[in-house]
């Protein structure tokens, strides 16, 4: 198939591009390099089956032209910065909500009717059911990021109903692994490099989070799309949680990271049960819907964190390259 | 208090303005008259307590200036046209999603931290629980209108969490009553005037819908805001369904309308269980949360439809004035 990938130079996007090429698919890699990294696409672009289009998802014309002839759009481009939403509220609106609308419109005009979308477990806000299933009680949003992804999901579903699109919407936990460029492992490692004796932790360190290894994430995406069950059927949106069946506390993660680095930093805590405004103190998704399709993650959270740390240690340039 | 009302010249907005003035409140009536009607504000503007600001909700500067000193914003301006979403998908994005963002930003800059918002029962999509409570299973959107209101709700909730806003979000069924300018009673009456012998009905006529009389709706809004329970508390969004505890079929409604008009038109049906793409064939909201605050509707659906019809018959200009 021919796939267009937005956010193709990002962490998940570039891994997805590599996997598509490995499957023999043709890829249009779309990115504006605002946060994406050219090096992540360096190998992919050696393939004659991969074409780079440098453009912004908000630029409907460029996007529409890039989209032509594609069988499916993987819309991964996003402002993935959950934490600083309240510092620039328009960013989530522009880069997530409006950008998703532009993708949908570009698809409609180009006649592309299949979309896979990276949503987030953050849309469950302060969930009341754990593990949280896709049809959990209608949540109240706590972050602008979650709200903007919810808006994206809503439009995608309405396009399925209204224009006969097919969609796979994936509500990710935090994704870990090679090319990881933001998140707690990145932050902790970078700060420990600067000061190995002390680590300041947002919240009380008891926040419980689930994580998933990026290749497990991509396996799930392909499994869902190939299954044809929910989504894949014209006019339907299939919604899938994607995570591991376990969670860890922030302090667990710190223990694994500092252990691997051979450090024993003094820990201080900002306090409170949330890392930041709108943070969900507990994220654990019920992934039964995805598992029913035969998918299961291959790495535990600890293994995912260790791989991520190993990647960062082997690629020190990533720490500096981050925008 | 001093209230800013967006969509102040609309059906619900103008009724709300009148009620605010009757309570002794000061009102800034904000409207761009794209679908609002100057005559609906004619009485209100005779009051020294009512000031009209002609502006678009997308014009943040004008809106922000109008907002200054207000204690609360009633954000009712919207593209309320549920039916034709797929003909102009950007309209819901602009006039509902982005407009709500502009209202929130204007509030933030003007220091206004309380908002009441007109959302919709359409966000439950094809609900699986009836009557549908506010915490029903996380729905999948079926209309661009519903998706755009969901996006609005999400941002409002995130502003509560992130900026200490207080919000009252009302998920309305279809509202009926004086100054009603669009919806099935309007359409049926107008078409029966043109041809009293024949009425063509979208869908199979079996669509089950709930309706609420506009003054019952406004009573509920004031009840919720005064209660202070959920919403009114800093940093919280209170979400309330608003409807009657009953529903009627489209053909029931047709029977009441034609009976009152003394007509026996031949009915033809477009067929299918939905009136249009993305239509919800059954809407019945569980309003226990609102009723717990002491509110109950005073009119039945039939009484509401009869009042609406009486209003339209007494105000034939409304049929022509509609944009």
- What are the extents of the domains in chain A? 2-175+212-242, 177-210+246-282+298-321
CA nearest to A245, candidates A298, A204, A207: A298
10 Å Cβ neighbour count for B68? 14
Spell out which residues of chain A touch residue B150, defining contact as CB-CB under 8 Å. 150-151, 154
Spell out which residues of chain A touch residue B141, defining contact as CB-CB under 8 Å. 153-155, 157-158, 161
pLDDT digit string (tens) for A173-189?
999 999 998 889 999 99
CA distance B163 to chain A (A): 8
CA distance B82 to chain A (A): 12
Q: What is the pLDDT of residue A84?
A: 76
The beta strands (E) that lie in chain B are given as: 2-6, 26-31, 50-54, 72-75, 114-120, 166-172, 174-176, 198-201, 208-209, 211-213, 237-242, 248-249, 266-269
- CATH class of the structural domain B2-175+212-242: alpha beta
10 Å Cβ neighbour count for A191? 14
- CB B120, CB B145: distance < 8 Å: yes
- CB B321, CB B276: distance < 8 Å: no
A145 as an active site residue: the answer is yes
User: In the predicted model, what is the mean pLDDT of chain A?
Assistant: 94
Render each residue's pLDDT in chain B as its tens digit; 323 residues.
999 999 999 999 999 999 999 999 999 999 999 999 999 999 999 999 999 999 999 999 999 999 999 999 999 999 987 777 788 999 999 999 999 999 999 999 999 999 999 999 999 999 999 999 999 999 999 999 999 999 999 999 999 999 999 999 999 999 999 999 888 999 999 999 999 999 999 999 999 999 999 999 999 999 999 987 445 455 577 999 999 999 999 999 999 999 999 999 999 999 988 888 878 889 999 999 999 999 999 999 999 999 999 999 999 999 887 54
10 Å Cβ neighbour count for B48? 8
Indicate if ipTM > 0.85. yes
CA distance A155 to chain B (A): 6
Spell out which residues of chain A touch residue B119, defining contact as CB-CB under 8 Å. none
Q: In angstroms, rounded to a whole number, what is the distance separating the alpha carbons of residues A205 and B134?
A: 33
Q: Which fold has domain A177-210+246-282+298-321?
A: UDP-galactose 4-epimerase; domain 1 (3.90.25)
Q: What is the pLDDT of residue A234?
A: 53
Beta carbons of A151 and B146 less than 8 Å apart: no
- DSSP label of B136: -
Q: What is the pLDDT of residue B233?
A: 52
Q: Which of B124, B145, B159, B180 is catalytic?
A: B145
CATH code 3.90.25.10 for B177-209+245-284+294-321: yes
- DSSP label of B317: H
Task: Tell whether the model's pLDDT for residue A85 goes beyond 80.
Answer: no
Beta carbons of B154 and A151 less than 8 Å apart: yes
Q: Which residues have C-beta within 8 Å of that of residue B211, sequence separation ≥ 6?
A: B173, B174, B175, B176, B243, B244, B248, B301, B304, B305
Confidence of residue A322 (pLDDT cuts 50, 70, 90): low
Buried b (16+ CB within 10 A) or exposed e, A82-117: bbebbeebebbbbbbbbbbbbbbbbbbebebbbbbb
């Amino acid at each position: 198939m021919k796939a267009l990938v937005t956010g193709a130079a990002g962490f998940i996007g570039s891994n997805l591009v590599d996997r598509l090429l490995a499957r023999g698919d043709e890829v249009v890699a779309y990115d504006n390099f605002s946060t994406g990294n050219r090096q992540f696409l360096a190998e992919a672009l050696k393939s004659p089956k991969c074409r780079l289009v440098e453009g912004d998802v908000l630029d409907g014309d460029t996007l529409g032209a890039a989209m032509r002839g594609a069988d499916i759009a993987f819309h991964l481009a996003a402002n993935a910065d959950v934490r600083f939403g309240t510092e620039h509220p328009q960013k989530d609106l522009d880069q997530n909500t409006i950008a998703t609308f532009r993708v949908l419109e570009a698809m409609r005009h180009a006649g592309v009717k299949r979309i896979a979308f990276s949503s987030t477990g953050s849309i469950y806000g302060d969930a009341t059911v754990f593990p949280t299933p896709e049809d959990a009680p209608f949540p109240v949003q706590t972050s602008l990021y979650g709200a903007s992804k919810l808006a994206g999901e809503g439009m995608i579903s309405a396009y399925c109903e209204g224009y006969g699109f097919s969609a796979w919407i994936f509500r990710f936990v935090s994704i870990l692994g090679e090319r990881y460029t933001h998140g707690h492992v990145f932050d902790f490692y970078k700060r420990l490099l600067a000061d190995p004796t002390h680590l300041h932790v947002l919240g009380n360190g008891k926040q419980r989070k689930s994580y998933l290894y990026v290749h497990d994430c991509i396996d799930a995406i392909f499994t869902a799309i190939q299954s044809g069950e929910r989504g894949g059927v014209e006019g339907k949106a299939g919604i899938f949680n994607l995570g591991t069946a376990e969670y860890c506390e922030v302090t667990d993660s710190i223990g694994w990271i500092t252990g691997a680095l051979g450090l024993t930093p003094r820990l201080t805590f900002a306090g409170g049960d949330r890392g930041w405004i709108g943070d969900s103190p507990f994220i654990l998704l019920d992934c039964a819907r995805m598992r029913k399709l035969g998918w299961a993650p291959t790495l535990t959270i600890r293994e995912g964190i260790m791989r991520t740390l190993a990647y960062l240690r082997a690629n020190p340039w990533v720490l500096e390259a981050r925008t």
